[in-house]
Structure 1
Amino acid sequence: MTDVPRARWGPLLERLADDLTPEPLSDPAWERAFREVPRHLFVPVYYDETDDGAPTRVGAEDPGWLEGVYTDDSLITQLRRHPQAPGSWWPTSSSSRPSLMVAMLHALDVRDGHRVLEIGTGSGYNAALLSARLGGEKVTTVDIDPELTSTARRRLAGAGHRPAVVTGDGAEGAPERAPFDRVIVTHSVEQVPYAWIAQTRPGGLILVDVRSVGTPRVGHLARLGVHEDGTASGGFDVSEPGFFMPARHDITVPQRRFPPPMDLRDSIERSSEIGARALDPPGAAFWLWALVPDIGITSMGGAALLFTPDGAWATADELGRVRAAGPHDLWALAEKAQKDWEAAGRPGVEEYLIEVGPQGQRIIPPIAL
């Protein structure tokens, strides 16, 4: 553990706690938990990005490390070499921004005696806050990376907390520890695994960042209530958007979806009434994602780029000049989504609903597709 006198870190923690929302730390139980758990014990090292994009390690031996830990910032805590890009690094774990953690813990609406499953142990800091609030015997935390779970288990014990720390694929939950009253997920998923619903008591809550694998900007925190019939439903009206790293089913890298090979000779050219900026509003992009759940939405050279795993792709510039290739015209789907979104009154992401059951997941715009 990082041995720092309380006289140094205590005032920094108090200042950070004073600055946090909601109002700040309006639940007295979370107020106590947050002020009791030192963040620096769980972030002995983090990585900053230099001007040239290279990561630089910041540890206890570096000036400014402690002050950096006690800022309201997300801190990268683990990097791995990207297997598809030799020489580059991929962030695979972080300590979330404290104000986001506080907002999520409030939204989780825990009560004394609740059993909580955390998916994504990471540094162990969030599990420590949960343990301080509920007692370690009520908390189970899961991560696929044995390096992270081993380190977190040691840090948690050093801080006086002993939740159950499980190494495994978070998508499978922790059936041996179920049922749970609450599930909180600290990475994003494109599809909410049904195992989480099955392991949550009726009346329980699941808080998770539901986000496109192909389009990291498209997504938001969802809060789902679990029903007696084994389904769950909810919405995206949590105050914080989330924006977590995607899940890992392989410890090497998070899930991502990349554009297929693009040969302009295979494409058709046409014009469109909408251009590249049409999908800039989050609500509009969310509508298209609800229509085509496996779509990727990104940009390339100033043009919007859409793609799907079946090899289809389409680009559109700001003047509405379209190129499309593959088994279907993806920009035609964007045109339909834009028209329907406009007709519905241009709803924001917080107006969408989500349902999850044994048959899968459905994101529902304010006017059902």
Structure 2
Amino acid sequence: MDWESRASALAVQVSHPGSDWWVPVRETPRHVLVERWFTPDARGWTAIDGPSDEGKWADAAYSDTTLVTRVGPVHADLAALGRPVTGLPTSSSTLPSLVVTMLEHGRLTPGVRLLDLATGSGYSAALACHRLGDDLVTTLDVDPYLTRVAADRLDRIGLRPAVVTMDGGGELPGTFDRIVSMVSMPRIPPAWLTALAPAGRLVTTLTGTGLIITADKTEDGGAVGRVAWDRASFMATRTGDDYPPALGDLFATAAAEEGDVAVSPFPVLDVTQAWEVWSMLSLTAPGIEHRTGTGEDGGRMTWMLHPDGSWARARTAPGERTTTVHQGGPRRLYDLLEEIRWRWLEHGELPVYGARVTITPDGTTTLSRGGWTATL
């Protein structure tokens, strides 16, 4: 495979010649790190074997695309070809432009010790090794298969960072000047602050949001920083082979029950595609699950579900702009969404992006901007 020209073209897409990441992207054979991946179809997820179709392999590996490498507990490397797998993606080789964005936010100057959290395919660790050198890079993942295979494939391309199998939310294997997480976290683990060297920097995304947190360690053992203006979303951290079951039973309730009925002046919104709204709603009520669909009459529908038993169902009829809303459970989730949408209209923006971030030594994280605050 002529991977060098492909990698050079990818570097043009995701970086520029003056960037610290131009050469690492050009010199990393991503295809070696991702031999198999899953693609979605009507039946679920089907594994694609790269070496059996070199053209398809090259196209996938050197596109600025996320390649799903694990669905539920099933690794693409071990999946039966032609036999679909169902479930949620649980690991991937993240699109290179987002990997570069996270590493750029880490400010990886020569000599700093990096913890690359969530090894995945090993691509982010590979780029970091090119920038810093193997001896300054530690990469960590909870999945022993991923770490074993990534270590082997990194070795094949001449890179030998420290590869560790452990839960990234617990005690970390050393002291680091930078912690860059390629998995989203519900809050900042206190262990990260303990492992962060004085004046060290952490970069992560928050679960259920499109927010990148950047923060530098302070003398009291906490950290201060900002929510970046860039948008980003990663898979949520997990401690087992798969994520907990989705809220299927509550969805059945939300689909059938009448609940409290009201009319909204706004049409149905696909919340997860409106990054500011989605992020602010997730900070207001962490754990919300969103689903969208089409009614029998072709109307747009959305459902909001929460682990506390709250639910909402909303439908905008064809040709209409107002929405009929049904809600039940201990909280009125759609009312929370409406408050955020009104604020969005009144101010022309929401305060989540660009917010100041303050993290106490125990991991309590507060975001604030323009009189608005949210504490995790």
Shared fold per TM-score greater than 0.5 = yes
Shift of 1:368: 1.3
- Go from structure 1 to structure 2 and tell me whether the alpha carbon gap of 1:363 and 1:275 turns closer, same or farther (over 3 Å shift): farther
Counterpart for residue 276 of structure 1: 268
Counterpart for residue 225 of structure 1: 216
Structure 1 residue 129 and structure 2 residue 119: aligned?
Answer: no
Displacement over 6 Å in runs of 4+: none
Identity of aligned residues (%): 29
8 Å CA contact 1:183, 1:200 repeated in 2: yes
TM alignment of 1:135-284, pairs within 5 A: 135-172=133-170, 174=172, 176-178=173-175, 180-212=176-208, 218-239=209-230, 241-250=231-240, 252-254=241-243, 258=247, 260=250, 261-262=252-253, 264-265=256-257, 267-277=259-269, 279=271, 281-284=274-277
Post-superposition Cα deviations, 1:199-224, rounded to whole Å, max 9, x if no partner, equal 11232221112131xxxxx4222222
Counterpart for residue 100 of structure 1: 98
Residues in 2 aligned to 1:79 and 1:331: alpha-carbon distance in whole angstroms: 31
- TM-score w.r.t. the length of structure 1 is 0.84
Shift of 1:234: 2.7
- Go from structure 1 to structure 2 and tell me whether the alpha carbon gap of 1:233 and 1:299 turns closer, same or farther (over 3 Å shift): farther
8 Å CA contact 1:353, 1:366 repeated in 2: no
8 Å CA contact 1:47, 1:58 repeated in 2: no
TM alignment of 1:29-40, pairs within 5 A: 30-40=21-31
- Go from structure 1 to structure 2 and tell me whether the alpha carbon gap of 1:211 and 1:353 turns closer, same or farther (over 3 Å shift): farther
**Count of aligned positions:** 348
Shift of 1:311: 0.5
- Go from structure 1 to structure 2 and tell me whether the alpha carbon gap of 1:348 and 1:62 turns closer, same or farther (over 3 Å shift): farther
What is the letter of the counterpart of residue 60 of structure 1?
Answer: P
8 Å CA contact 2:93, 2:121 repeated in 1: yes
Residues in 1 aligned to 2:270 and 2:4: alpha-carbon distance in whole angstroms: 48
Counterpart for residue 329 of structure 2: 326
Residues in 2 aligned to 1:204 and 1:120: alpha-carbon distance in whole angstroms: 19
- Go from structure 1 to structure 2 and tell me whether the alpha carbon gap of 1:163 and 1:359 turns closer, same or farther (over 3 Å shift): closer
Structure 1 residue aligned with 2:366, among 362, 365, 368?
362
Residues in 2 aligned to 1:143 and 1:291: alpha-carbon distance in whole angstroms: 29
Structure 1 segments unaligned to the other structure (5+ residues): 213-217
Structure 2 residue aligned with 1:14, among 8, 21, 25?
8
Q: State the secondary structure of the residue aligned to 2:211.
A: strand
Shift of 1:89: 4.2
Residues in 2 aligned to 1:96 and 1:108: alpha-carbon distance in whole angstroms: 17
Structure 2 segments unaligned to the other structure (5+ residues): 75-83, 295-299, 317-321
8 Å CA contact 1:245, 1:254 repeated in 2: no
What is the letter of the counterpart of residue 271 of structure 1?
Answer: V
Residues in 2 aligned to 1:116 and 1:367: alpha-carbon distance in whole angstroms: 35
- Go from structure 1 to structure 2 and tell me whether the alpha carbon gap of 1:256 and 1:113 turns closer, same or farther (over 3 Å shift): farther
CA RMSD of aligned residues (A): 2.7
- Go from structure 1 to structure 2 and tell me whether the alpha carbon gap of 1:282 and 1:70 turns closer, same or farther (over 3 Å shift): closer
Counterpart for residue 349 of structure 2: 346
Post-superposition Cα deviations, 1:117-168, rounded to whole Å, max 9, x if no partner, equal 1110111121122122112221111101100111111122222222111101
What is the letter of the counterpart of residue 324 of structure 2?
Answer: R
Structure 1 residue 71 and structure 2 residue 58: aligned?
Answer: no
Shift of 1:173: 5.1
Counterpart for residue 294 of structure 1: 287
Residues in 1 aligned to 2:270 and 2:160: alpha-carbon distance in whole angstroms: 50
Structure 1 residue 317 and structure 2 residue 315: aligned?
Answer: yes
Q: State the secondary structure of the residue aligned to 2:193.
A: helix
